[in-house]
Structure 1
């Protein structure tokens, strides 16, 4: 089982470099956002595979925290691409 997890860890690590290339050289902002989201998902896979290799369940809480932060980052980028700002302030024009 640990050999398969090690092989998976190598494959996921190689894919992170591909995503990093797309995040840097992406032709559009949407491609960069998708690449950053994929990097977050790949990092979650790396943490899960390390948890399998080391036979410990303690990395799962870190995995959940990274999932929430990755989700919030993707939502923030999407809102910035849509409206040009992340936090909208309501102004009363009197």
Structure 2
């Protein structure tokens, strides 16, 4: 039963990633593109977690945690670049 749930979750996340990709490419402003990229990182974390559940391997959860940290730092850096024009002061 868990296999069907994981497949359904992966299908939903695939649809979400495609919609985020559309917003990333067609976003009218830079802020929309940053939000779409951050949401894509969150969806990628969810995909990694679902693969970890399906495979019953703990290493996927550590990879998801690392991607979450890198995604957060990347989003902060993009926003700081948009607001100030440079990342390092």
| TM-score calculated relative to the size of structure 2 | 0.95
Indicate if the aligned counterparts of 1:16 and 1:42 stay in contact, CA closer than 8 A. yes
Structure 2: gaps (5+ residues): none
- Alignment correspondent of 1:79: 80
Indicate if the aligned counterparts of 1:40 and 1:66 stay in contact, CA closer than 8 A. yes
- Alignment correspondent of 1:9: 10
Q: Which has the higher Rg, Structure 1 or Structure 2?
A: 1
Runs of 4+ aligned structure 1 residues displaced above 6 Å come to: none
- Alignment correspondent of 2:66: 65
RMSD (CA atoms): 0.7
How many residue pairs match? The answer is 88
- Alignment correspondent of 2:24: 23
**Which of the pair is proportionally richer in helix?**
2
| TM-score calculated relative to the size of structure 1 | 0.90
